[in-house]
Structures are given as structure tokens and as C-alpha cells.
């Protein structure tokens, strides 16, 4: 009887479940979007109960449409939007407020205060991160400081905190298990990536009771079982939950980047370039951060990472806010109708700029408009902006790492765009390798769970499952690409420090 592994891929805009067979092929999938909540400019929230409801529904549907016996599911893995923060009641499982999303900038002033206290070096040395509103620690602090009674209840041990992996594992186990994996923990600004433990000094600096925090665990081990009696998931009771990783390290794992020096970029809501740097954490000098990629069989693999806050979300902005396109593929068709952006540059700093700039006060900018600029030029500039931002990250990564990237493996929703991938290869002067299996994030979670359950024997077997669908080679003249990149950097300078620091 064939075994299967199911992965929950809980993203920023939708909840998905994907069932994989031993060959790494997709057997079935289901996906449900959920609301994006914007209470104020620069604030982004999700309803945790809606996340759980949509993920539960996706899981039930994926299993149902696969037409298999649920007993054939050997393992369940989880991958999730990182940094997004939930606080909930231990007794009831009810969230105390909406989740604060990784994109949210409401804690910028808290970050400024921490910097003023001189904590920058301590945070970077211990966590591999920079002080920024992106990470979870200041989000927990904001909830404790601003939701009535939350701090007092936390100090009495009545509340749990966690990223979305913790929230899902808690609910899947019927409230029995409060854990996180080390890759998610390493994005909180509270976790020492060298000792792999919560850091008491950092928790004290942010005034966060350590009793709130989940237990850090490796990425491939049994955390618990799916509880009996979960409405809609009754047939899945007893399936081991035994793999978990944040979306980006999961994609690095799913791309088979098991060797130091291998790198991938995920083109999702944001863009995330990660390089496996092996068993020793590399300190970035170029505006990148260092995280735990995964812990497998007691061995740590660290990753250098650059994060772009707005990539695919810029295409969504064209569709939903500007109404220039009806669907994401329309952006490609429009962009392909013109030979270039016609000198138009878009810096999509809707929620600030991530690596390598780390500017919480930057905002979105369009420059270079003329009377002849059309919506096709704007569509082309949107795709170019995504490729420019990834070029920023790869250049920073090559400056930090001992060995330069020779090929960029790519995945994520926008990686299906041939025009974007070709632009990326041209700007980087590198091959861009798109796999046949583009669901690498979900497969990474499935692979980690499948290793723990014995579905796959080890990394060599997983490596053998990866196939390239297309490798894009640089085609455009290098001098032209260099000139475009210089203009991009000029455009970025116009977007930086746009708003006063009173968010």
C-alpha cells in the first residue's frame, strides 16, 4: 500500500494543503484565500480563526479529492508565513486579537527605541537578525502593551504566543502541544541561533515573559498527533505531525539546496533569497540576515537570507487597487507588449524596504513617467522591480559568502513568468533554474515530515527527485542591464525615508 505525505502550506494570502506521493508528485491540492485586514496605513492583520478554518478546510478537501484511504497518509508537515504573530488563551484557544502580519510596520517606533538603547549589536550577534518591525518579538510586545489585560494574563501563564506554525500545531493537536521549529523561532528576534534556545536577556529587553513562548524543536521529528474529533478532520486522527519549517527554509530544503553555496529565490507575496551556508552561522556585512535553515538529525544548517517585502503583492496591487489588470497573467501579457518599461521605475516599498536597505520609513514610488507612459510600461516596470530587488539580494549575498552563487534556483507563484525569469537571468548574469515541481515550499515541509516518518531514506533520495523544467540563460547585453540597474538604485533613493518616523 502506497504511503503519502500531506503538507499544510499556510501563506500570507491563502491556506493550502497538498498531498504528495513518494515520487514527490502532487496527488491533490486545495486552496482557500482569507481576508487581508488593514486597520491603519502600514498596519496588516489576519484573523487567526480564519487561518485555522481555511487551513482545516483545505486539508479535508485535499484528502477527500485524492480518493485514498486516510490511513495511507504517513505524515503531516507544516510550512507557514513567518514572523506573523498570534497570542491566544491556553484554556480556550481563542486569540486575544488579530494576528499581526510580518508586513505590518506598527512596531517601528518600538524598534527605534531598542536601537536607541544600543541593542543593535546584541540582537545581531545572538539572533543573526537586525532590529526591524518585520520580526516577531516587537509584535508580541505590542500586543502585551496594547491589548487590555494581555500583559497581566501573560504573566499569570494564561496565554500562549507563537508564529503560525505553533498556532496550527496547537489546533491540530487539540491544544495539547505548544511548540515551534527552530527555523521559525530564529525569526522572532528572541532566539539565540548559536545555542538554539530562547534568550532570557532579549526577552527581558522586550519585556516578554518566557512562559508565553513555545518549545523550540528540530524540523523533522514527531511533535504530536492529529487529535480525535476535530470537525471535518475526524478521519485524520492519529496522523503524526512530524515536519515543520518556515516557508523560506522549507523552499530551500524543497529545492534540494542541501550543500553549502546552493541558493534559491522564492517569488511569492515577497521575495526571499536564501543560501545554505552550512554548519557555521555567517555574519552578514551587507544588510542580510542569518537564520537557522533547519536542524536535521542533530545537525544545524544555517542560511543567509535577504527579504523583499513586496514582489507578487505588487502584481496584486496592479489588479486589486489600480484595476489595470484582471488577473496576474495579464501583467505578463501587458509587459510583453512593450520592449521595455520606457524609463519607468517602480519601487514597491508599500510597507518599507527590506534587505539590503532596511528602511521602515520608505514608501512606494513611481519615477520616470512621461506623457507617453502607458499601463503596459507600468506592468513592465512592476516585473522589473521584482527582478531588481532580487538582484540587490544576490549581490549582497555574493559579497558576504565565501563562494559566489553560480545558479539561482527559483520557485513561487511569479516564477511561472517567463519574462520575469529572463529579466532576472539578464540582470544577474547567472542561469536561473526553474524546477518542474514549483511547489517547493510545500514539498520541503512534506520532505521533512516524510524523513521523520521513514517515507524517504535520506537527503540523496530527496535530491534525486528534483528536475529542472527550464533554465534561463542571460541574453541581453550586459552594459544595458548595468545601466538599468544604476537607474533602479537612483529610484530607490527617491523612495527612502519618505515618511516621518512617527508610525
Output the DSSP codes for 135-204. SHHHHHHHHHHHSTTHHHHHHTT-EEEEEHHHHHHHHHTTT---EEEHHHHTTSSSEETTTTEE-HHHHH
Contacts of 459 (CB under 8 A, 6+ apart): 258
What radius of gyration do the chain's Cα atoms show? 22
pTM of the model: 0.88
Kindly give the pairing relationship between strand 408-411 and strand 432-435: parallel
Contact 438, 412 (CB under 8 A): yes
Consecutive H or E run containing 400: helix 375-400
pLDDT of 303: 94
Give the separation between CA 302 and CA 293, rounded to whole angstroms. 5
Q: What is the mean pLDDT of the chain?
A: 94
Q: How many angstroms separate the Cα of 156 from the Cα of each of 47, 159, 166?
A: 25, 8, 20
Per residue of the chain (503 residues), what is the pLDDT tens digit? 789 999 999 999 899 999 999 999 999 999 999 999 999 988 999 999 999 999 999 999 999 999 999 999 999 999 999 999 999 999 999 999 999 999 899 999 999 999 999 999 999 999 999 999 989 999 999 999 999 999 999 999 999 999 999 999 999 999 999 999 999 999 999 999 999 999 999 999 999 999 999 999 999 999 999 999 999 999 999 999 999 999 999 999 999 999 888 899 999 888 989 999 999 998 888 889 999 999 999 999 999 999 898 999 999 999 999 999 999 899 999 999 999 999 999 999 998 998 899 898 899 999 999 999 999 999 999 999 999 999 999 999 999 887 788 889 999 889 999 999 999 999 999 999 999 988 899 999 999 999 999 999 999 999 999 999 999 999 999 999 999 999 999 999 999 999 876 54
Output the DSSP codes for 101-115. PTT--TTHHHHHHHH
pLDDT of 290: 94
Give the separation between CA 289 and CA 304, rounded to whole angstroms. 6
pLDDT of 346: 97
Contacts of 280 (CB under 8 A, 6+ apart): 302
Per residue in 439-464, pLDDT (tens digit) is 899 999 999 999 999 999 999 999 99
User: Cell triple for residue 455?
Assistant: 517515507
pLDDT of 503: 45
Contacts of 396 (CB under 8 A, 6+ apart): 284, 286, 287, 288, 306, 355, 356
Amino acid at each position: 500500500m502506497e504511503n503519502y505525505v500531506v503538507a499544510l502550506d499556510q501563506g500570507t494570502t491563502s491556506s493550502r494543503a497538498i498531498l504528495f506521493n513518494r515520487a514527490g508528485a502532487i496527488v491533490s491540492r486545495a486552496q482557500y484565500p482569507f481576508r487581508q485586514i488593514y486597520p491603519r496605513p502600514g498596519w496588516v492583520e489576519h484573523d487567526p480563526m480564519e487561518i485555522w478554518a481555511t487551513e482545516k478546510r483545505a486539508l479535508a478537501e485535499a484528502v477527500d479529492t485524492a480518493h485514498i484511504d486516510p490511513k495511507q497518509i504517513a505524515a503531516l508537515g507544516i510550512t507557514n508565513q513567518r514572523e506573523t504573530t498570534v497570542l491566544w488563551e491556553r484554556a480556550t484557544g481563542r486569540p486575544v486579537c488579530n494576528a499581526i502580519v510580518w508586513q505590518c510596520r506598527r512596531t517601528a517606533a518600538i524598534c527605534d527605541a531598542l536601537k536607541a538603547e544600543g541593542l543593535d549589536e546584541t540582537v545581531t550577534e545572538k539572533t543573526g537578525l537586525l532590529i526591524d518591525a518585520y520580526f516577531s518579538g516587537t509584535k508580541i510586545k505590542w500586543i502585551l502593551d496594547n491589548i487590555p489585560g494581555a500583559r497581566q494574563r501573560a504573566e499569570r501563564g494564561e496565554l500562549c504566543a507563537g508564529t503560525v506554525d505553533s498556532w496550527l500545531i496547537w489546533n491540530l493537536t487539540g491544544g495539547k502541544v505548544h511548540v515551534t521549529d527552530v527555523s521559525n523561532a530564529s525569526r522572532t528576534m528572541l532566539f539565540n541561533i548559536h545555542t538554539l534556545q530562547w534568550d532570557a536577556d532579549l526577552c527581558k529587553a522586550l519585556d516578554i515573559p518566557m512562559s508565553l513562548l513555545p518549545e523550540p524543536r528540530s524540523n523533522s521529528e514527531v511533535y504530536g498527533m492529529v487529535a480525535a474529533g476535530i470537525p471535518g478532520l475526524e478521519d485524520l486522527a492519529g496522523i503524526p505531525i512530524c515536519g515543520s519549517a518556515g516557508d523560506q527554509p522549507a523552499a530551500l530544503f524543497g529545492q534540494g539546496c542541501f550543500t553549502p553555496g546552493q541558493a534559491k529565490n522564492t517569488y511569492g507575496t515577497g521575495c526571499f533569497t536564501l543560501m545554505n551556508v552550512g554548519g557555521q552561522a555567517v555574519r552578514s556585512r551587507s544588510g542580510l540576515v542569518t537564520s537557522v535553515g533547519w536542524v536535521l538529525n542533530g545537525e544545524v544548517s544555517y542560511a543567509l537570507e535577504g527579504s523583499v517585502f513586496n514582489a507578487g503583492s505588487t502584481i496584486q496591487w496592479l489588479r486589486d487597487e489600480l484595476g489595470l489588470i484582471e488577473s496576474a497573467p495579464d501583467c505578463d501579457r501587458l509587459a510583453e507588449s512593450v520592449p521595455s518599461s520606457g524609463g519607468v521605475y517602480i519601487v514597491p516599498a508599500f510597507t518599507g524596504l527590506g534587505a539590503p536597505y532596511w528602511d521602515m520609513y520608505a514608501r512606494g514610488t513611481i519615477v520616470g513617467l512621461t506623457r507617453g507612459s502607458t499601463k503596459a510600461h507600468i506592468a513592465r516596470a512592476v516585473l522589473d522591480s521584482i527582478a531588481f530587488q532580487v538582484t540587490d539580494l544576490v549581490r549582497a549575498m555574493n559579497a558576504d559568502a565565501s563562494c559566489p552563487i553560480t545558479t539561482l534556483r527559483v520557485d513561487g507563484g511569479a516564477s511561472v513568468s517567463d519574462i520575469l525569469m529572463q529579466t532576472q537571468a539578464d540582470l544577474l548574469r547567472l542561469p536561473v533554474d526553474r524546477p518542474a515541481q514549483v511547489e517547493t515550499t510545500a514539498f520541503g515541509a512534506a520532505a521533512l515530515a516524510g524523513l521523520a516518518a521513514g517515507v524517504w531514506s535520506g537527503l540523496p533520495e530527496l535530491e534525486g527527485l528534483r528536475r529542472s523544467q527550464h533554465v534561463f540563460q542571460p541574453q541581453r547585453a550586459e552594459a544595458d542591464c548595468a545601466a538599468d540597474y544604476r537607474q533602479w538604485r537612483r529610484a530607490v533613493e527617491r523612495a527612502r525615508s519618505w515618511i516621518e518616523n512617527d508610525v
